[in-house]
A and B are shown apart, each in its own frame.
Chain A
């Protein structure tokens, strides 16, 4: 990234605006599309999908249920009906296939809010960063599971902003807008990706699922990397990129569970370093296509082996 330029400026110049926002646009379309499916019923009386993100019924046939909620039910001592169990199993398998935190990047409505906060944070050059460990989310996930054990009820659901806002959009917000505004300001002023990247226990849960996910992003052409840091600047979980991009001993596939498969790194890379693959893919840069001038020695070594 050139000094003063925004991340992705190079990619826009190289590929055009549309190609440099391809996955971002797909993501927004998916997020709003899923929400739109839920809203077809209450707005237009067309009941393709009923319920909300916690549990839904599509075409009166396909049940989908949030597995984290089922886990909390078990902790509360309630054994759910088969419908909910099947729904949770389908969701589990789906995210094992496409990447756990695909939920965060492609479905969750809060993602739009925190992405907006992060965008504004970059534009306004807000540097403030509260010291938050990204491991707090695991502690919180533990608390989310333990609370029903202690209280007998799904206590986290009283405040869970993800389900709160999604349900609000479909069934009526009440004062849930304050949660949206609160999260926006939290991410804008308190710390970069403070909610989604550090605290959200749903993200922690889906991150654990992602550890075994099939669909992954790979720095297949890491030989082309010119260290512009654009991918790093836009990545919601920056720690996941480095090993695959910079460590020659590491597979180019980003195996970290917290990679959200948002594809923003693919968008902003002017040199097409990244692409979607499976976790088993061992494809690296074909030596024949290596571009020499901006190679660092480590990479050339890797090519020659």
Chain B
């Protein structure tokens, strides 16, 4: 700024050199600010992972956090022995340069030693994950019950049989087949406490378009509000009801009759009188009875 002082002061007292400097700095700041804002908006869009893209094991379920930790070097891709992982290219719907796989094409084979995670130099794939069974890359969802042939009463069970956590991540639940009236439906049911999101089921689904699909956890999971308390759970935990116990239900019954819900049903004190029903033939008697509703 020294040389600026040599330029003659303008009549209004503003040093021309200093003014040029400020204008130039402002131009840069505004231009860069605009570009940075656009980029931030672009980043927010990139945080939304497309439903078909599954992150490698150990990646944070919040893709924004993953994109703050992954430096897009591709070392996980290189150490994946099954060519499952690929790096998103410019133009793909996944954030450029980040690793992902598509379950329908090549699912994760769930290597015991998790080589992709070991290759990660930054910890974007969290080294705290030691057992691949604890990975939660996504969650399988039987998304189309209309197309799944198990719901038609056909025996398929391919997803159940290829599941690496067999019998735990997917179970077959038997239900009545109302169409035939005498057969069973074997319905695959996914359990989020065991499903790793490897995608073997989606790949193996025999349909033209898979009825069971692995979705990113954020998309697949619902969440009960934190304020919810399920009474029967609270009761089991505390050993007793935490609120005033319900008063026994009052039934509008004639004297000598009682009712046991979920038990014996209607009970009469004098079963010998069975021929003479305790109810009057005049409905007004019932309505006017003392103790009625």
Residue positions of A touching B, CB distance < 8 A: 41, 47, 50-52, 54-57, 63, 65-66, 69-70, 73, 76-81, 83-84, 87, 133, 135-136, 139-140, 142-143, 146-148, 150-159, 163-164, 167-168, 170-176, 178-179
Which of A73, A151, A157, A164 has a CB less than 8 Å from the CB of B44? A151
- Show 28 A/B contacts (Cβ-Cβ < 8 Å), sorted by A: A57-B119, A65-B73, A65-B121, A78-B69, A79-B123, A80-B121, A80-B122, A84-B123, A135-B25, A136-B32, A140-B35, A143-B32, A147-B36, A151-B64, A153-B95, A154-B67, A154-B72, A158-B95, A163-B72, A167-B74, A171-B87, A172-B87, A172-B89, A173-B90, A174-B91, A174-B92, A175-B90, A176-B89
Q: Would you give the 0/1 interface string for B48-92, flagging 1 where the beta carbon is closer than 8 Å to chain A?
A: 000000000000000011011111111101110000001111111
B76 to chain A: closest CB distance in Å? 10
Contact B91 A153 (CB under 8 A): no
**B89, A173: Cβ atoms closer than 8 Å:** yes
Q: Which of A84, A147, A153, A174 has the most C-beta atoms of chain B within 10 angstroms of its own C-beta?
A: A153
Q: Which of A83, A87, A178 counts the most B-chain CB atoms under 10 A from its CB?
A: A83
Are B97 and A164 in contact, CB atoms less than 8 angstroms apart? yes
CA gap between A183 and B31 in the complex, in Å: 18
- Chain B positions within 8 Å of A173 at CB level: 89-90
Closest residue of chain A to B65 (Cβ to Cβ) is A152
**Please, which residues of chain A bring their CB within 8 A of the CB of B25?**
135
Is the CB of B124 closer than 8 A to any CB of chain A? yes
Report whether A156 and B73 are in contact in the complex, using a CB–CB cutoff of 8 Å.
Answer: no
* Given pairs A69-B71, A168-B90, A172-B89, 8 additional interface contacts (CB within 8 A): A65-B71, A66-B71, A77-B68, A84-B123, A139-B29, A153-B43, A163-B97, A176-B90
> Please, what's the 1-or-0 string for B195-227, where 1 marks a CB less than 8 Å from any CB in chain A?
000000000000000000000000000000000
Q: Is B241 an interface residue (CB 8 A)?
A: no
Nearest Cβ on chain A to B40's Cβ, whole angstroms: 5
- Of all A-B residue pairs in the complex, the 3 with the closest CB atoms, nearest first, are A174-B89, A76-B68, A55-B73
B46 within 8 A of A: yes
Asked if B175 CB lies within 8 Å of chain A CBs, one says no
- The CA of A298 and the CA of B81, in the complex, are separated in Å by 68
Give the CA-CA distance A140 to B39 in the complex, in Å: 12
Given A55-B122, A133-B27, A140-B32, A167:B39 Cβ within 8 A: no
* Cβ contacts under 8 Å, B86 to chain A: 171-172
Which residues of A lie under 8 Å from residue B65 when comparing CB positions? Answer: 78, 152-153
Q: Does B127 contact A (CB under 8 A)?
A: yes
The answer to whether A168 and B42 touch (CB under 8 A), given A51-B73, A65-B71, A146-B36, is no
Chain B min CB distance to A162 (Å): 12
**Which listed residue, A41, A143, A164, touches B96 by the CB 8 Å rule?**
A164
Mask, B105-146, CB within 8 Å of A = 1, is: 000000000000001111110010000000000000000000
CB < 8 Å: which of A50, A70, A135, A163 contacts B75?
Answer: A50
- Interface size on B, as a range, is 35 or more
Q: Does A154 lie within 8 Å of B35, measured CB to CB?
A: no
Which of A70, A153, A178 touches B47 (beta carbons < 8 Å)? A153
B72 and A80 contact, CB distance less than 8 A: no
Asked if A153 and B46 sit within 8 Å, CB to CB, the answer is yes
**Partner-A contacts on B (CB < 8 A):** 24-25, 27-29, 31-33, 35-36, 39-40, 42-44, 46-47, 64-65, 67-75, 77-79, 86-92, 95-97, 119-124, 127
Q: Does the CB pair B87–A57 fall under 8 Å? A: no
Q: What chain B residues lie within 8 Å of A179 (beta carbons)? A: 90
Distance in Å: Cβ of A160 to nearest Cβ of chain B: 9
Query: Residue A143 contacts which of B35, B75, B95, B121 (CB distance < 8 angstroms)?
Result: B35
Interface centre among A50, A52, A171 (most CB of B within 10 A): A171
In Å, the complex CA distance between A41 and B75 comes to 12
Residues of A contacting B35 in the complex (Cβ-Cβ under 8 angstroms):
140, 143
Contacts of A174 in B (CB 8 A): 88-92, 96
- Could you say which of A50, A83, A155 contacts B40, with CB atoms under 8 Å apart? A155
Give the Cβ gap from A161 to chain B, nearest Cβ, in Å: 10
Contact between chains at B68 and A157 (CB < 8 Å): no
Instruction: Find chain A residues with CB under 8 A from B71 CB.
Output: 54-55, 65-66, 69-70, 73, 84, 154, 157
CA distance A51 to B64 in the complex (A): 22
Residues of B with C-beta under 8 A to A83: 121-122
Q: Is the CB of B68 within 8 A of A73?
A: yes
Q: How far is the CA of A148 from the CA of B40 in the complex (A)?
A: 9
Closest chain A residue to B97, Cβ basis: A167
Q: Which residue of A lies closest to B73 (CB)?
A: A55
**Cross-interface CB contact of A167 among B47, B72, B121, cutoff 8 Å:** B72
Return chain A residues, CB-CB under 8 Å to B64.
Answer: 151-153
Contacting residues, chain A, for B32 (C-beta < 8 A): 136, 139-140, 142-143
Residues of chain A lying within 8 A (CB to CB) of residue B24: 133, 135
A80 and B89: CB pair below 8 A? no
Closest to A139 in B: B32
CA distance A41 to B77 in the complex (A): 12
Nearest-CB residue, chain B, relative to A155: B43
Complex formed: what's the CA distance from A55 to B72 in Å?
8
User: CB-CB < 8 A to B75: which residues of A?
Assistant: 50-51, 55-57
In the complex, residue of chain B having the shortest beta-carbon distance to the beta carbon of A172: B89
Cα distance, A81 to B124, chains bound together (Å) = 9
Q: Which of B39, B70, B90, B120 contacts A156 (CB 8 A)?
A: B39
Shortest Cβ distance from residue A151 to the other chain B in the assembled complex, whole angstroms = 4
